[in-house]
Homo-oligomer: A and B are copies of this chain.
Amino acid sequence: MLFGAIEAGGTKFVVAVGKENGEVVEKKTIPTTTPDETIREVEKFFANKQLTSVGVGTFGPVDLNSNRETYGFITTTPKVKWQNYNLLGELKEILHVPVAIDTDVNVAALGEKTLGAAKDVDSCLYLTVGTGIGGGAVMNGQTVKGLSHPEMGHVRVVKHPNDSFSGTCPFHGSCLEGMASGPAIKERWGESAEQLQDRNEVWEMEAYYIAQGLVSFMYTLSPEKMILGGGVMQQKQLFSLIHEEVYKLNANYYDLPILQKENIHSYIVPPELGSNAGIVGALLLAEQNV
């Protein structure tokens, strides 16, 4: 059986054909322009591919509640041409097979849970820290959604005592994304993450915020593994600072071996599938929804 996978991003769509267990056979990158143009390229790629089903991991916000008429629509995105676009409907129209849709971070969590950093456990959270901050999770074998999809980047955080920055989020000001995304780092310190690599205070403050988010997610979902990806997390020094801070914030309340100082590096980890997490997760989503 062959499955289709689509990773729909704001700058590019990655499309792939693969087999069971997330094995990619063929892959292509399509630039994200107008919906019409982009979807026409997607159609061309999948033409005559004899797929059983297709899985989609998309940028958002996207309506994932199948009880609503706008199920599968991209909703209030700042990408004007894609606002209120019926992504799921259009894909079904051109593909003629079952199409399952979820967020990019939820399918990445599914990929990492099944074949990556969380393959040995039953649940995980995947957080991407980059231009925005977004989170997905797999609990009880399925991605987490309901009212809508998670928007983990928008949880409120307590300000660092040395931080006078008011945050970049137009909705919440100083939520996690407002304080710790790539653009927040740049606006606070005047330079991009790469240029700030050697400034300890930058990364201590960054870890302070990310750790707050993680502890909040941990106490809410209790995932067995937390995976951190995205552009900002390429600053590898961040991991040990985050480990320290999560250990401190938990204060041994969850009194578990894996959260101890010497083990916590195996609880909060980088992705194993790297940039493939999304496309592999989308293949697995297709397979779940035959």
| Interface check A147, CB cutoff 8 A | yes
How many copies of this protein are present in the complex? 2
| Interface check A256, CB cutoff 8 A | yes
Interface residues of A, count at CB 8 A: 48
Residue ID in chain B nearest A141 by CB atoms: B140
0 or 1 for each of A200-239: is its CB under 8 Å from B? (1 = yes)? 0000000000001001111111111000000000000000
Question: Are A154 and B219 touching (Cβ within 8 A)?
Answer: yes
- Chain B residues, CB < 8 A from A148: 222, 254, 256
0 or 1 for each of A248-266: is its CB under 8 Å from B? (1 = yes)? 0101111110100000000
- Chain B residues, CB < 8 A from A217: 220
Question: Are A151 and B221 touching (Cβ within 8 A)?
Answer: no
| Interface check A186, CB cutoff 8 A | no
Residues 129-161 (chain A) with a chain B CB within 8 angstroms: 135, 139-140, 142, 144-152, 154-159
Question: Are B221 and A150 touching (Cβ within 8 A)?
Answer: yes
For the complex, what is the distance from the CA of A150 to the CA of B171, rounded to whole Å? 27
- Chain B residues, CB < 8 A from A123: 146-147
Tell me, rounded to whole Å, the shortest Cβ–Cβ distance linking A8 to chain B.
20
| Interface check A76, CB cutoff 8 A | yes
Known: A251-B172, A252-B171. Is A222-B156 also a contact (CB below 8 A)? no
Residues 79-100 (chain A) with a chain B CB within 8 angstroms: none
For the complex, what is the distance from the CA of A122 to the CA of B148, rounded to whole Å? 12
Residue ID in chain B nearest A75 by CB atoms: B255
Tell me, rounded to whole Å, the shortest Cβ–Cβ distance linking A260 to chain B.
13
- Chain B residues, CB < 8 A from A249: 156, 172
- Chain B residues, CB < 8 A from A149: 222
Residue ID in chain B nearest A226 by CB atoms: B147
Tell me, rounded to whole Å, the shortest Cβ–Cβ distance linking A78 to chain B.
13
Question: Are A218 and B147 touching (Cβ within 8 A)?
Answer: yes
Question: Are B254 and A144 touching (Cβ within 8 A)?
Answer: no
Known: A171-B253, A216-B220, A255-B76. Is A146-B139 also a contact (CB below 8 A)? yes
Known: A156-B215, A158-B156, A158-B158. Is A144-B221 also a contact (CB below 8 A)? yes
**28 pairs from A and B in contact (CB 8 Å cutoff):** A65-B224, A75-B255, A121-B146, A122-B146, A123-B146, A123-B147, A139-B139, A139-B140, A139-B144, A140-B142, A140-B144, A147-B218, A147-B224, A147-B258, A149-B222, A150-B221, A150-B222, A151-B219, A151-B254, A155-B215, A155-B216, A156-B249, A158-B158, A171-B251, A171-B253, A220-B220, A220-B221, A221-B221
Interface residues in chain A, defined as those with a beta carbon under 8 Å from any beta carbon in chain B: 61, 65, 75-76, 121-123, 135, 139-140, 142, 144-152, 154-159, 171-172, 212, 215-224, 249, 251-256, 258, 267
